[in-house]
């Protein structure tokens, strides 16, 4: 299994809603990532988890809250988002978090904030 | 500082070769990557090269790395319409925890 699975594929939410994005991998990877991508722009790193601990937080607003319940799962909890947070949210995983290998990306969750 | 630059657009005819170029600034890059993104999809790793290599070939793809000039290129031979996508160059920096620095992406358009 060489897939990173993200759910839901599409999400529409209001600014007062609370929702979560989910990501799962069964490749035994110990590093997992959240990226945000606007249309036709490169992905921007949000968070990195290494061995289930948050290792990088790229100054992301607190309305985004990551969680890594175990080595296979990564969640992104969303609360009180703004319309400008509408984007494609990509999850990725790699064997380790060092510069030693490739990232496997999921297909993304497309978020629209009304 | 870290910066990766690419030209934004490239248009080729089906059957021709495509060459997508990328320059980077950080000499402590360890790996350099090419990712492909089709419309509405996630990123697909096409190939990568370790910074002490000059060239890597994988079927229709050839990656050339000029470390002195900090220049990376991706050549796609016999380009097909299915190759139309955005291609991102990316690098990882030693000791930065797997953080990928992406270029702006080159939109490749293949005309029949």
Q: What pLDDT score was predicted for residue B28?
A: 74
Q: What pLDDT score was predicted for residue A33?
A: 93
Q: What pLDDT score was predicted for residue B50?
A: 87
- Residue stretches of chain A with pLDDT short of 50: none
Which of A41, A100, A102 is closest, CB to CB, to B45? A102
CA distances from A23 to A88, B7, B106 (A): 13, 32, 28
**Which residue from A minimizes the CA distance to B94?**
A99
Predicted confidence pLDDT, tens digits, chain B (112 residues): 568 999 999 999 999 999 999 998 877 777 889 999 998 888 998 999 988 889 999 999 999 999 889 999 999 999 999 999 999 999 887 666 667 889 999 999 999 9
**Which residue from B minimizes the CA distance to A108?**
B42
Contacts of A98 in chain B (CB under 8 A): 95, 97-98
**Which residue from A minimizes the CA distance to B86?**
A40
- The position carrying tokens 């990564």 is A74
Q: What pLDDT score was predicted for residue B98?
A: 64
> Of chain A residues 4-63, which have a CB less than 8 A from chain B?
6, 31, 33, 40-43, 45, 48, 50, 55-56
> How, if at all, do strands A109-113 and A10-13 pair?
parallel
Q: Which of A4, A5, A42, A89 has the highest number of chain B CBs within 10 A, making it the mutation to test binding with B?
A: A42
Within a 10 A sphere around the Cβ of B99, how many other Cβ atoms? 19
Structural contact between residues A23 and B88, judged by C-beta atoms closer than 8 angstroms: no
> How, if at all, do strands A31-37 and A87-94 pair?
antiparallel
Pairwise CB contact (< 8 Å): A99 & B94: yes
Look at residues A26, A19, A29 and name the one whose alpha carbon lies nearest to residue A49.
A29
């Amino acid at each position: 299994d060489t897939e990173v699975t993200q759910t839901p594929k599409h999400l529409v939410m209001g600014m007062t809603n609370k929702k979560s994005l989910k990501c799962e991998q069964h490749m035994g990877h110990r590093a997992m990532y959240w990226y945000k991508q606007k249309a036709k722009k490169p992905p921007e790193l949000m968070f990195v988890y290494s061995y289930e601990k948050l290792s990088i937080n790229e100054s992301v607003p607190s309305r985004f809250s990551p969680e890594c319940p175990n080595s296979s799962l990564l969640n992104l909890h969303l609360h009180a988002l703004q319309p400008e947070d509408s984007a494609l949210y990509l999850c990725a995983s790699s064997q380790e978090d060092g510069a030693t290998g490739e990232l496997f990306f999921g297909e993304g969750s497309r978020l629209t904030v009304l | 500082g870290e910066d990766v630059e690419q030209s934004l657009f490239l248009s080729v005819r089906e059957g021709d070769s495509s060459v997508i170029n990328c320059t980077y600034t950080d000499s402590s890059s360890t790996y350099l990557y090419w990712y492909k993104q089709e419309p509405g999809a996630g990123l697909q790793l096409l190939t990568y090269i370790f910074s002490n290599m000059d060239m890597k070939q994988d079927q229709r793809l050839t990656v050339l790395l000029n470390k002195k000039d900090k220049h990376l290129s991706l050549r796609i031979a016999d380009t097909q319409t299915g190759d139309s996508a955005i291609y991102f160059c990316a690098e990882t920096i030693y000791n930065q925890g797997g953080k990928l620095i992406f270029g702006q992406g080159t939109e490749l358009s293949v005309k029949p």
